[in-house]
Amino acid sequence: MSSSPPSRFLKVVLSPALWAFFFYSLLAIVFTFPLVRYMRQEIVGTIGDNIYFIFLIRWYQKALFTLHINPFFHPFLNYPEGWSLASTDTSPAMMLLAIPASWLGGDTWGYNFAMLASFALTGLGMYLWVRHLTHRPAAGLVAGMLFACVPYRMAHFLAGHLNLSGTQWFPLYFWGLYDLLRRKEWSWKPVLLAAISLGLISGTTPYYLYMTLFVSGLFVTAYVLWLDRSRLKKRLFWQNLAAFGLVGLPLAALPMLPYLALGRQGGLADRSIDMVSRYSASPTDFLLPSTDHFLWGRWVGAHFDRSFWVEATLYIGAVALALALLAWLKRRDTEWAELVKLSVVTAAAAFLLAMGTDLHWLGQRVLIPIPGFLQGVLGRETAPIPLPGYLLVRYFPWFGKMRVMMRFSVFVHLFASLLAGLGAAWLLEKAKPRWRGFLTVGLLALIFLDFYPGPYTQFARIDARPVDYWLATQPDRGAVAQFPFIQDADQDQVYNTLTHQKPYIGGFFNATLPPQYLRIRPVLDLFPDAASISLLRDLGVGYILVDSSQYPDYAIVHQQIQALGLQFLTQVAGQYVYVFP
């Protein structure tokens, strides 16, 4: 007999998973405090990549519901050539969180909501996996807090990387993948869990998809060759993998179509070895607390080189390491010994991959002296110590398109949190029942002490400039150009187009530079001169904006611009506006 509606409602309300979600939601508010007070129009930190994602929220809505065009190609940026958003990031999966929220509170509120939701969902995903493995909700709480609040996530939150904050799919994906590998009877559940999660990872950022596929290959290989070779002879094993591939690969391929199209056009260049080396992790990055930590962060920043602090904030955490070590030492006493070994191997592989192309220490490249008889041949006195990443960047398909190999560290944090949850489960099992609650609270408090950044004090208001509001009232005379020309590639200029609603010849920050930009930059960098004025006319530019604060003697520049035939129209908050007569 089915339960009555009140009984079902009571069951939902009392669900441990629901209370866990509330707990992680509260953590998200506390760890980002006082963001919750300013969500409608402000973001934590300074304007950077965050404003691009806020732009993306409204652009997707406009493209889909008003213009009815492909949202991944913006015809009015990099005008008149247009701009593929795949040259930076499209992140449709994170937009699924942000856009509905933006309908309630606006674009900035939607962005902030998606950031907070990623905290809560990341914790919940890890909680559900560990609870499923251990049948101990308290162990799940510990693991979820570790993964949700790890400094890697806090650094990318502060930098405005909404895409890289989308870590909530990883626990669900590896939960499904691990279950389908070890299944002894057929079930769609792990197949669908892994496949749908892979599609969502793909829709978050291509970085995460590529790294997930690479790490998954290592994960599966380690399982079948080290833990259970007999699986290779079982039909069910291949049936599960085939079903996962048939469902998961199309879901993962769909968000990649804009990137593949851009790649075929030559729009996704390989990164140089030197660039990838700069973004290679040091082993010390995993041991140094975040420079944002409320107690010792300032001391860390003062005594260690944290020039690449956003990407290099990889601290695993003392609590995570201690509990993970406990899981390893006590693995034979538990039913998940196999998963412990598999997690350690996968985390170690991810650690090695995060260290990139060559060995670094304390943020600096480690160089060894070259014997004298070889110095003349090689043309140098020292050489780096190469790592496997060097060969991968040089020879493995698509690997060379990644700029930041440090981001492989997300899998170190994933499996460290999982291991810590398993270690916490063993600890709780051995504790006397009356002490388990105190032990859980103690572990959560230690994690808080280890990771908490303290209240944020720096906020930036998201709004267009006065000149953009003025432009919105003007007739359509053509595209907008901003000078000095270097400003045309600023993130905030992309956002400003949402207000003035006019084509714009810029709009490609932090991205593979489009051919038109590479062609026009040498000319427009010399503005104002006859060649730049002629090119602006050819590009269909109607409004030329010049930031007077960027020139030492703007009165002279103003005279030069008018002498070249442009008509001065107005000046709005330091922005001089010119048009063709």
DSSP 23: H
C-alpha–C-alpha distance, residues 577 and 468, integer Å: 11
pLDDT band per the 50, 70, 90 thresholds, residue 569:
very high
The region that residue 135 occupies, defined by phi over 0 for left and psi between -120 and 50 for alpha, beta otherwise, is: left
C-alpha–C-alpha distance, residues 148 and 122, integer Å: 5
Pairing of β 73-74 and β 83-84: antiparallel
Mean pLDDT along residues 548-560:
95
C-alpha–C-alpha distance, residues 284 and 313, integer Å: 10
Instruction: State residue 6's pLDDT score.
Output: 54
- Cα angle value 257/262/267 (rounded, 5°): 155
Q: Quick one: CA dihedral 195, 196, 197, 198, positive or negative?
A: positive
CA dihedral of 313, 314, 317, 322, whole degrees rounded to 10: -160
Q: What is the pLDDT of residues 73-86, one digit of tens each?
A: 999 999 999 999 98
In angstroms, the first-to-last Cα distance of the chain is: 82
pLDDT band per the 50, 70, 90 thresholds, residue 14:
low
Q: Quick one: CA dihedral 163, 166, 171, 176, positive or negative?
A: negative
Instruction: State residue 142's pLDDT score.
Output: 98
Helices (H), 473-567: 491-500, 515-524, 530-538, 554-563
Q: What is the pLDDT of residues 436-446, one digit of tens each?
A: 999 999 999 99
pLDDT band per the 50, 70, 90 thresholds, residue 489:
confident
CA dihedral of 528, 534, 539, 541, whole degrees rounded to 10: 60
3-class secondary structure per residue, 250-295: HHHHHHHHHHHHHHHCCCCCCCCHHHHHHCCCCHHHHCCCCCCCCC
Question: Per-residue DSSP letters for 152-183?
Answer: HHHHHHHTT-TTTT--THHHHHHHHHHHHHH-
C-alpha–C-alpha distance, residues 480 and 320, integer Å: 51
pLDDT band per the 50, 70, 90 thresholds, residue 508:
low
Report CA-CA distances (Å) from 422 to 172, 219, 346, 348, 430.
16, 18, 16, 17, 13
Q: Which residues pair with 480 in a beta bridge?
A: 504, 543
- Token duo for residue 348: 């170690």
C-alpha–C-alpha distance, residues 348 and 355, integer Å: 11
pLDDT band per the 50, 70, 90 thresholds, residue 144:
very high
DSSP 2: P
Q: Which residues pair with 577 in a beta bridge?
A: 545, 570
Kindly state the percentage of the chain with pLDDT values over 70: 97
* 17: Cβ contacts below 8 Å, ≥ 6 apart: 124, 127, 128, 131
C-alpha–C-alpha distance, residues 27 and 116, integer Å: 9
Question: Is there a contact between 363 and 306 (Cβ–Cβ < 8 Å)?
Answer: yes
Q: Is the pLDDT of residue 146 over 90?
A: yes
3-class secondary structure per residue, 180-240: HHHCCCCCHHHHHHHHHHHHHHHCCCHHHHHHHHHHHHHHHHHHHHHHCHHHHHCHHHHHH
pLDDT band per the 50, 70, 90 thresholds, residue 268:
confident
Instruction: State residue 10's pLDDT score.
Output: 45
More confident residue, 14 or 526: 526
Report CA-CA distances (Å) from 8 to 18, 124, 128, 530.
14, 22, 20, 75
Phi and psi at residue 575, to the nearest 5°: -100, 115
Q: What is the pLDDT of residues 179-231, one digit of tens each?
A: 999 988 889 999 999 999 999 999 999 999 999 999 999 999 999 988 888 88
Question: Is there a contact between 350 and 415 (Cβ–Cβ < 8 Å)?
Answer: yes
- Token duo for residue 74: 């913006």
> How much is the mean pLDDT over the chain?
92
Question: Is there a contact between 367 and 384 (Cβ–Cβ < 8 Å)?
Answer: yes
Q: What is the pLDDT of residues 226-252, one digit of tens each?
A: 888 888 888 999 999 999 999 999 999
Instruction: State residue 510's pLDDT score.
Output: 60
C-alpha–C-alpha distance, residues 315 and 413, integer Å: 9
Listed in order, strand segments (DSSP E) in 410-566 are 459-461, 479-483, 541-547
C-alpha–C-alpha distance, residues 188 and 193, integer Å: 8
Which of 106-120, 162-176, 342-356, 395-409 shows the lowest per-residue confidence on average (mean pLDDT)?
395-409
Whether a cis peptide bond, with omega within 30° of 0, leads into 386 is no
pLDDT band per the 50, 70, 90 thresholds, residue 172:
very high
Packing angle of the helix pair 337-354, 388-395 (nearest 10 deg): 70
Give the strands of the sheet with 575-579, arranged side by side: 479-483, 541-547, 575-579, 567-572
Instruction: State residue 271's pLDDT score.
Output: 83
pLDDT band per the 50, 70, 90 thresholds, residue 1:
very low
